[in-house]
Amino acid sequence: MKPIHLISLFLLLALLSCSNPGNETKSLFNGTDLTGWHWDVPAMDSNPDTINPFIVRNGQLVSLGNPGGHLITDEIYMNYHLEVEYRFAGKPGNCGVLVHASTPRALYGMFPASLEVQMEHQNAGDFWCIIEDITTPDMETRRGPREKWGGTEGKLRNIKNLTDSSEKPLGEWNNMVIECVDREIKVWVNGELVNYGYDCTADRGQIAIQAEGSEVEFRKLVLTPIKRLTK
């Protein structure tokens, strides 16, 4: 091989070695199984024959709703754009996507410490503070009296979204985008900005999907890292 060709080859190999696959867009769900996820379902502790509420059906990830629990990514993520497409399969109900999840069963012996982005029918985009907390504009109006705020039992943990008119009719697919950058979180539902918060008490963690009483189908869970310029 000529020297010029060797130099070109070495340059190519160097570029490839510097590339970071972790900065590439990827689907968190492969369409066939739950590789990359693990579940935490308290009912399974006492009865190992308990049905797993998270299944794959017709190429979709399905949360059956019962028994209650969470499907959690094996990896920890920070600074990303997460696009989710979901629908309630039979009747309107409840579910959520948890970001910055960490300590399991930190609240009510069920919920991991996290910031929940609500998917409940007609309330998609609400924030629920689960141990972690966040600040939003006009928060007293949307959360209640300041002295009752918090992320634990008995506290005002729900921060209402900016609009309840963004969801599509039951049975149609909804598109939710969650953008986490540093300690800010923005949420869009079907292209409309429905919530924005800052000064979140966490800036990274696992991503989780709930089983919370209702059957929900997911056909898209795509994560795109957001590169931050270092100082």
Residue 176 sits in a domain whose CATH number is 2.60.120.560
Which among 177, 208, 203 has a CA at the least distance from the CA of 37?
A: 208
Instruction: For residue 23, name the pLDDT band (cuts at 50, 70, 90).
Output: confident
Say if CB 110 and CB 118 are below 8 A apart. Answer: no
For 92: left if phi > 0, alpha if psi spans -120 to 50, otherwise beta; the answer is beta
Instruction: For residue 145, name the pLDDT band (cuts at 50, 70, 90).
Output: very high
12, containing H or E segment: helix 3-18
Task: Assess if residue 104 is contained within a domain.
Answer: yes
Task: Assess if residue 16 is contained within a domain.
Answer: no
Query: pLDDT tens digit string along 45-94?
Result: 999 899 999 999 999 999 999 999 999 999 999 999 999 999 998 888 99
pLDDT of residue 105: 98
| Start-end of H helices in 36-148 | 43-46, 139-143
pLDDT averaged over every residue in the chain: 90
Q: Distances in Å between the alpha carbon of 101 and those of 21, 87, 104?
A: 23, 23, 8
What's the CA gap between 109 and 106, in Å, rounded?
6
Range ranked top by mean pLDDT from 1-5, 10-14, 173-177: 173-177
Token duo for residue 59 = 């190429």
For the chain, what is the domain count?
Answer: 1
Task: Assess if residue 81 is contained within a domain.
Answer: yes
pLDDT of residue 90: 82
Task: Assess if residue 14 is contained within a domain.
Answer: no
Say if CB 118 and CB 127 are below 8 A apart. Answer: yes
Which among 173, 196, 182, 172 has a CA at the least distance from the CA of 117?
A: 196
Q: What is the mean pLDDT of residues 117-126?
A: 96
Q: Is the pLDDT of residue 149 over 70?
A: yes
Q: What is the mean pLDDT of residues 31-58?
A: 96
Task: Assess if residue 160 is contained within a domain.
Answer: yes
Task: Assess if residue 98 is contained within a domain.
Answer: yes
pLDDT of residue 219: 98
Task: Assess if residue 208 is contained within a domain.
Answer: yes
Query: pLDDT tens digit string along 170-216?
Result: 999 999 999 999 999 999 999 999 999 999 999 999 999 999 999 99
- Domain limits at 142? 24-225
